[in-house]
């Protein structure tokens, strides 16, 4: 919607300068005309006020479904998922398992030429934002079928599955207004979660390029606003975001977040991790609300070199487990680190054991509700699932 269409407020007509006329009847007529003018202006202002208030509320309404090209093939498959069993919702945070081990032999699920983001729902179906075909795709774990949910118009955008509300969140620029939408409970009609107030530096605004999305247990949404080099958090029902990391318009702390390309929120420690590509690939951590980050991986010879036995960390992707441990995707392997950045070993990939499933470029990672780890190998275009192999997890799920 366009606020400019309403135009500027009408002005009150100035009194006629020759109103110093002593003829009584003319004055009476002028007074009546003035009265009518004032009433008319008041009515116009009242109507415009109502229209403006109404249009401010518009973004909260569901997006008209016909604005998206939705594949007809998808609708039957999607509605069938409403009968699936519910998961327990007592958990205060997402259903990521505190796994200590994953089976090094992975299962190759589906090939996707160019995925920009992946997510897994509570029924182990995989969603893929495919930037090659500009589609949102869904792969069904039970039938091995791959379908398009949105065809052609789906941008290179991060997607995020929120297991507590069974909703798939995504960023979308709708009618030139950047905002966040969701598909609830397998329904293919998108619902608007919030809309920004257009593009810009204000905290109620966003840029059109979003590179990371995270929804915490409370439903607050973290947006990695790449074009503005910052992360903003939109709490539930807020009309504006809060600066979490990065900079304000005229600040020059460009070393903080220049062209961030990925983000993960650690809800346990209230930290935000950001992958940034400027001056070499590295991961920065913004702890407990601080807008100033500390480099924890990469960005030159590592200060943790002695601890990691001369292995140089080149982060491609990262994710945090239920205990706050950090999994870092590097070339041909995934390493694990404790939350205070102590090296804990290679958990998957090269030298993780004979018969291990090999991958080269673990560009994307995500967990399902059981803690199984899904890795997207960019060089092979392959989504691989590594199942949890640790009974210590089971108790943590209840």
Ligand X SMILES: *[C@@H]1O[C@H](CO)[C@@H](O)[C@H](O)[C@H]1NC(C)=O
Residues contributing to the site for ligand X (CB under 6 A): 103, 236-237, 268-269, 288-289, 324, 339-340, 389
Strand partners, 274: 263, 284
Cα 95-97-99 angle, rounded to 5 deg = 170
Shortest distance (Å) from residue 195 CB to ligand X: 15
Which of residues 154 and 337 has its CB atom nearest to ligand X in the complex? Answer: 337
Nearer to ligand X, 91 or 261 (CB): 91
| Phi-psi category of residue 7: left, alpha or beta, with phi > 0 → left and psi -120 to 50 → alpha | left
User: Is there a contact between 358 and 348 (Cβ–Cβ < 8 Å)?
Assistant: no
Rounded-to-integer distance, Cα 123 and Cα 170, Å: 19
Minimum CB distance to ligand X smaller for 252 or for 288: 288
* Closer residue to ligand X, CB minimum distance, 332 or 339: 339
How far is residue 262 from each of residues 114, 237, 265, 276, 304, measured CA to CA in Å?
16, 25, 11, 7, 22
Provide, rounded to whole angstroms, the least separation between the CB of residue 366 and ligand X: 21
| Minimum gap (Å) between residue 269 Cβ and ligand X | 4
Radius of gyration of the chain (CA): 26
Is the CB of 104 or the CB of 298 nearer to ligand X? 104
Q: How far apart are CA 216 and CA 164, in angstroms?
A: 9
CB 179, min distance to ligand X, A: 16
State which residue, 165 or 269, has the beta carbon closest to ligand X: 269
Query: Rounded to the nearest whole angstrom, what is the least distance from the CB of residue 144 to ligand X in the complex?
Result: 21
Q: What is the number of other CB atoms lying within 10 angstroms of the CB of residue 293?
A: 25
State the Cα–Cα distance between residues 109 and 392, nearest whole angstrom.
26
Whether 186 and 79 have beta carbons less than 8 Å apart is answered as yes
Nearest to ligand X of 18, 340 (CB atom): 340
Residue 103: CB minimum distance to ligand X, A: 4
| Edge-to-edge order in the sheet of strand 191-195 | 159-162, 167-174, 177-184, 191-195
Residue closer to ligand X, measured from CB, 133 or 390: 390
- Distance of closest approach, residue 238 Cβ to ligand X, in angstroms: 9
H/E element, 381? none
Shortest distance, CB of residue 274 to ligand X, whole angstroms?
16
């Amino acid at each position: 919607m366009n606020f400019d269409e309403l135009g500027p407020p009408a002005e009150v007509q100035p009194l006629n300068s020759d109103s110093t006329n002593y003829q009584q009847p003319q004055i009476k007529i002028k007074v009546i005309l003035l009265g009518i003018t004032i009433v008319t202006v008041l009515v116009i202002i009242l109507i415009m006020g109502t229209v403006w208030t109404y249009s401010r509320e518009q973004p909260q309404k569901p997006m008209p479904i016909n604005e998206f090209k939705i594949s007809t093939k998808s609708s039957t498959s999607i509605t069938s998922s409403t009968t699936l069993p519910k998961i327990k919702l007592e958990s205060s945070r997402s259903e990521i398992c505190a796994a200590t081990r994953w089976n090094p032999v992975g299962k190759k699920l589906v090939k996707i030429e160019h995925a920009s983001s992946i997510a897994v729902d509570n029924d182990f179906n995989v969603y893929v934002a495919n930037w090659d075909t500009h589609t949102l795709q869904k792969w069904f774990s039970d039938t091995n079928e791959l379908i398009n949910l949105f065809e052609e118009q789906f941008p290179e955008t991060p997607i995020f599955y929120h297991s507590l509300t069974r909703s798939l969140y995504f960023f979308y620029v709708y009618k030139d207004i950047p905002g966040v939408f969701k598909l609830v409970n397998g329904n293919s009609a998108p619902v608007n979660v919030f809309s920004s107030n257009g593009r810009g530096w204000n905290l109620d605004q966003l840029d059109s390029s979003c590179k990371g999305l995270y929804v915490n247990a409370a439903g607050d949404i973290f947006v990695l606003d790449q074009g503005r080099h910052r992360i903003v958090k939109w709490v539930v029902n807020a009309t504006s975001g809060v600066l979490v990391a990065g900079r304000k318009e005229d600040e020059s702390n460009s070393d903080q977040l220049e062209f961030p390309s990925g983000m993960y929120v650690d809800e346990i420690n209230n930290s935000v991790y950001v992958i940034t590509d400027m001056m070499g690939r590295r991961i920065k951590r913004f702890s407990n609300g601080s807008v100033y980050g500390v480099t924890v991986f990469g960005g030159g010879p590592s200060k943790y070199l002695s601890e990691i036995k001369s292995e140089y960390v080149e982060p491609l992707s990262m994710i945090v487990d239920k205990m706050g441990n950090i999994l870092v995707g590097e070339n041909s392997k995934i390493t694990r680190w404790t939350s205070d950045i102590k090296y804990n070993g290679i958990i998957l990939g090269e030298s993780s054991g004979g018969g291990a499933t090999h991958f080269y470029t673990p560009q994307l990672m995500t967990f399902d509700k059981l803690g199984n780890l899904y890795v997207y190998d960019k060089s092979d275009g392959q989504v691989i699932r590594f199942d949890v192999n640790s009974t210590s997890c089971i108790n943590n799920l209840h």
